Structure 1
Amino acid sequence: MKMFESIKDQVKNAKKIVFVTGAGISQESGIPTFRGKDGLWRNYDAMKLATIDAFYDDPKLVWEWYNERRHNIFSANPNQGHKAIAELEKFADVVSLTQNIDGLHQKAGSTKVLELHGSIVKIKCTVCDFSDEIMTDFTENPPLCKCGSILRPDVVWFGESLPQDVWQEAIIHANQCDLMIIVGTSLVVSPANTLPIYAKQNNAMLIEINPENTEMSSEMDLVIRNTSANALPEFVSLFKNL
């Protein structure tokens, strides 16, 4: 319990815990981050592929990239960090606000997950309102909607707005929590990086779990320089011993 020794008494009173998670938590399941050393795909910058302009410039290339990512994600399993968050639901009201599109929180058993940036398994039409889930590869590339337009992954690309219903619900949870734990995110992507500010306005305690320094480390009540797979099971054990 040494990591959380200084705040264990305050944690006891936390009724609602909100997690804000990013690519770092899934990196431990073998899914590369955008910004890390594995954040390149062939000779392309992943951050440049994940834009609407890149998609319209070369939809075949972007779909090829997403098919490869989807295969990688489907073969990945939740790690101890994901599992700890799911287990914590036994002891408190827990909500996960995730920037990840991999579904590993749900795979681990978490029941309250808001996917701020969409999901790798969902598709939508670039023109009409068609949307669906896709678990297998398309026979054509790029795939076409019944209306004849190109289908795209139902994810939020750089420069696009978050789904407003999901974002408004995320703000409500951030405003209501007693404790917010920010895990594996660099807090550089807007507007998700404003969620800790909403929590702070509610006088919530902020804990950051990240091996590296982030944009908001100085604003945290507690900073754990470790991985989520190491730190979060220890955090859950605090509740088991209450």
Structure 2
Amino acid sequence: MASAWYFLVLLGGVVLLGSSVQRLAGIGFGLVGAPGLVLLMGPVQGVALVNCGSVAISAVGLAATWRLVRLRTMLPLVAAAGVSVPLGAYVARALPEPVLLTGLGSLVTVAVLLVMRGVRVGGLYGTGGALAAGAVSGFMNSSAGIGGPALSLYAVNEGWSARDFVPNAQFYGLVVNVLSVFAKGVPRLTGSAWLLVAVTMTVGILLGGVIAARTPDHAARRVILGLALGGGLVTLAKGVWLLL
């Protein structure tokens, strides 16, 4: 009984934090939530819950911003992601847990560092850049629950503003996470756990909205990336420990 309550408390805390971040920045549920959920539930089930949660949060955010979505720009991104999502799902199922944890931790850590540095990648613009970013993002989203960094790098190279990025990231997150859920299925949780996820996610979305209204963009970005980097490093450390 104690272990069940411990699991629910940690699950609710991670979902609350991740959903608040997603509402604050347009992306981030996977970056912040995936490491904690992977450590709590295992790589496959944890990432599956990230995908399900990202569908719900992206849909809520998109309800108010869908008119700002650039459908013509997003088409090659989601098309390329649709091709690579099944590969990511296969890799997540096929690799042993220590290897998968090490890989997921490494992906999160490297991706966050790239975004922190504002790296510009030559050629990552236009239709060709969208196809490349979509393919990488779809694979990472399905295998690790972190499709956002590749999309962020593409947006940086295209010169998108924050106003451009948030609605398009929400549209992309909705489509690609739906594809990821179809490829892998939903996580195995009890009814009480699903209810907790729904409640904490709703509270997180509302809380993130309040924080967003009072927080400068640069400050929110530093907090989000710091949390994501810490989570990636912890996941990487656990994977390496299990390997050794």
TM-score by length of 2: 0.28
Q: Which has the higher helix share?
A: 2
If you compute each CA radius of gyration, which structure gives the higher value, 1 or 2? 1
Q: Which has the higher contact order (CA 8 A, sep 6+)?
A: 2
Q: Which has the higher strand share?
A: 1
